[in-house]
Every structure is written in structure tokens, then in C-alpha cells.
Amino acid sequence: MCQTSWSILSWVKTLAVSVMALALVGCGFQLRGQDLINSGYSYAISGEGKDSRLAIELAARLSRSGVLAQDSADFTVELVDVRRQQVDGAVTAAAMLLEQAVRIEVRFRIVDAAGQERQAERTLSRQRFFRLDRSNLLATAAVKEQVAESIESELVAQLLRSLNLVQQMPLAADAG
């Protein structure tokens, strides 16, 4: 009896997962970033912030997708400015710092191969607080770096979504 109920429960779970998978496929779900791979366009990174950690992460993602251009590209992400700041947060009654924040701000614009601006200059920023551990400063520094990497990853994902939108607009050469 118990064996039968477990097999029925297993069958119901499998059926539910299958129905959800079919629903996602049926509604046109696709993984983010797939538009870049299938677009046929190439991308480059330039600007003052091209040597930043955020630019390195962006280049790595574009390279993994196989769309990073080495010389000429259909679209260029111009990283006008990438700033990383440390912001003090809450303090104790004795004025001891309890938390800090990492804030990363990126200003960028997207241009096409003809040099025409496809997306006007825009600013993206993220800020995240973390607790300070005064007894273990090395651990606190490691946490700060993890927070910064997480923020950079989120900002890169947002930049990639901007590229997805921009590439869907017809190029001037395609329109003519």
C-alpha cells in the first residue's frame, strides 16, 4: 500500500514538472542572452572604463557567447565611466561602524558600426550593504569583494539586456 502511494506521488510530481516545462516552452520562454548569440551581430567594448573589472566581466560574457569582436564590431558598448565606492552605513551608540556598502555606478552608451548612437548615455548603479566583522578584517575584505563581484555581475546582466533591446532596432544600413 505504502509502495503504491509513493509511486503515484512520484508519477504526479513528474507529470507536474513536465506540464510546467511545456508551459514555458509554449509561452516562448528563452534564456536571457540567447538573443545576442542568435543575432548575427558582433560587439566590442571601448571607453574610459574598458579596463575596469566590470568591463572584464562583460567581455568574458560576450566571449563565452561567441559574439565579442576583436577589431570591428556591429555594436560598441562605450563605458564612459565605471566607479566603485565604499559607503559607510549604520553605527553603534559608541560611533563604531557596523556596516558598509559597496556602490558601483556605470555610465555607458551604445553605438553602431557607423558611429551612430543607438542608445543615449545611461547610468546604471547598484549598492549593497554588508556587516563589518571587526574581529576578522580579512573576512570582511573578502565579503566586500564578493559583494562587489555580485553587483558587477548584476550590472553586466543589465547591460546585456540593453544590448538585446538595441539589436532588435533595425540598423541604418538595414533600413536603407
Residue 1 has pLDDT above 60, yes or no: no
DSSP 3-state of 133:
coil
Give me 93's grid cell: 551608540
> Is 0.85 topped by the overall pTM?
no
* pLDDT tens digits along 50-83: 999 999 999 999 999 889 987 789 999 999 999 9
Largest CA distance in the chain: 72
The three cell numbers of residue 67 are: 559574439
The highest-level CATH class for domain 31-175 is alpha beta
- Provide the residue count of the chain: 176
Q: How many CB atoms lie within 10 A of CB 48?
A: 13
Query: Quick check: 41 pLDDT over 60?
Result: yes
Look at phi and psi of residue 66 and say left if phi exceeds 0, alpha if psi is from -120 to 50, else beta: left
Grid cell 553605438 in the structure block, residue:
111
Query: What share of the chain in percent tops pLDDT 70?
Result: 78
pLDDT band at 138 (very low <50, low <70, confident <90, very high): confident
Give the whole-angstrom CA distance, residue 27 versus residue 47: 39
Over residues 139-165, the pLDDT tens digits come to 888 888 999 999 999 999 999 998 988
Q: If pLDDT is split at 50, 70 and 90, which confidence band does 29 have?
A: very low
| Beta strands 99-112; 43-46: pairing state | unpaired
Say what the alpha-carbon torsion angle 142, 146, 147, 152 is, to the nearest 10 degrees: 140
pLDDT at 168: 80
Average pLDDT, the chain: 82
For the chain, the structural domain boundaries read 1-30, 31-175
